[in-house]
Amino acid sequence: MINTAVKQEFGSNPLKVRDTNHYQAEYVHSFVDKWDQLIDWDRRAESEGDFFIRLLKEQGAKKVLDVATGTGFHSVQLLKAGFEVTSADGSPVMLGKAFENARKRNHILRTVHADWRWLNRDVHDYYDAVICLGNSFTHLHDENDRRKALAEFYATLRHDGVLILDQRNYDAILDHQIEPRHNFYYCGDNVRATPEHMDESLARFRYEFPGEEVFHLNMFPLRKQYMQRLLHEVGFQRVTTYGDFKETYRESEPDYFIHVAEKR
Ligand code: SAM
């Protein structure tokens, strides 16, 4: 269903909204239009460097499925680096923006509108790598949905394929009450992204843009070890976790964890 709403709608008790399908209603046009201000492509490219490109090349990957395309940042970086990329997302609003962003940079995106839980209904091919980046997996509120989505990612990978999935370091926020820094993914200067509410099943973040425009995302706070366990349980044989873009890290330090889950 295409979301044509102008405003986000969380109802009378926003803290009650813990629903996997709600991402569609959260990524309204006005928020999607602001998203690139939040992530600032140039500064994001600078902070990530060639981390993902190197990882994918080390894995021998050529054909990549970006399941959380968003506004297209990683799809475009990978196309530029010579990978064969298919760009999927469950939000048609996001996919439209991604296509437009890629066109501006002289690339044509091959897009697929697909919800992860039924990915293989819409994606009929095999990939060397699936990427799910930018703290996207956190949108799944139910464990069944998380298992189903991972099983769908697994099924679209070749026998020696790899899944690269990142997540915000929610452990640090849940356990130590520290506010994460925003120097990696939220690179925009004028944007404040803060956790407005945190409990074991809800991370409600507030995104403030200049002009007092405010948006929210209600997400599930994935703990790192839980995520690693799920990846193993759906069948991935080896899971390596990086902190931000490094292999060694102090537990409370990174803003993000990046899991590299290998099928073989
Ligand atoms: N990867 C992009 C980035 O880093 O800028 C986008 C990240 S954005 C936080 C999360 C994306 O995941 C959104 O584009 C949203 O539509 C998509 N998404 C969330 N839940 C989904 C689901 N169940 N199926 C497919 N896409 C989903």
> Does the CB atom of residue 31 touch ligand 1 within 6 A?
no
The C-alpha angle 152, 220, 186, rounded to 5 degrees, equals 95
Tell me the residue length of the chain.
264
CB of 153 closer than 8 Å to CB of 102: no
Amino acid at site 55: L
Whether the pLDDT of residue 174 is over 60: the answer is yes
Whether the pLDDT of residue 88 is over 80: the answer is yes
To test the ligand 1 pocket, which listed residue (38, 132, 136) has its Cβ within 8 A of the most ligand atoms? 136
- In whole angstroms, give the CA distance from residue 221 to residue 138: 6
CB of 244 closer than 8 Å to CB of 255: yes
| Separation of CA 137 and ligand 1 centre (Å) | 7
> Does the CB atom of residue 73 touch ligand 1 within 6 A?
yes
> Does the CB atom of residue 134 touch ligand 1 within 6 A?
yes
> Does the CB atom of residue 171 touch ligand 1 within 6 A?
no
Whether the pLDDT of residue 168 is over 80: the answer is yes
Q: What is the pLDDT of residue 134?
A: 92
To test the ligand 1 pocket, which listed residue (41, 43, 91, 166) has its Cβ within 8 A of the most ligand atoms? 91
Amino acid at site 158: R
> Does the CB atom of residue 87 touch ligand 1 within 6 A?
no
To test the ligand 1 pocket, which listed residue (24, 139, 184, 255) has its Cβ within 8 A of the most ligand atoms? 139
Phi/psi at 94 (nearest 5 deg)? -60, -45
Map residue 106 onto helix, strand or coil. coil
Listed in order, strand segments (DSSP E) in 181-244 are 192-199, 202-209, 213-219, 238-243
Nearest of 198, 81, 58 to residue 66 by alpha carbon:
81
- In whole angstroms, give the CA distance from residue 117 to residue 132: 13
| Separation of CA 18 and ligand 1 centre (Å) | 16
Q: What is the pLDDT of residues 191-240, one digit of tens each?
A: 777 888 889 999 998 888 777 788 899 999 999 999 999 999 999 999 99
- In whole angstroms, give the CA distance from residue 27 to residue 33: 9
Q: What is the pLDDT of residues 26-66, one digit of tens each?
A: 877 777 787 777 777 888 888 888 999 999 999 999 999 99
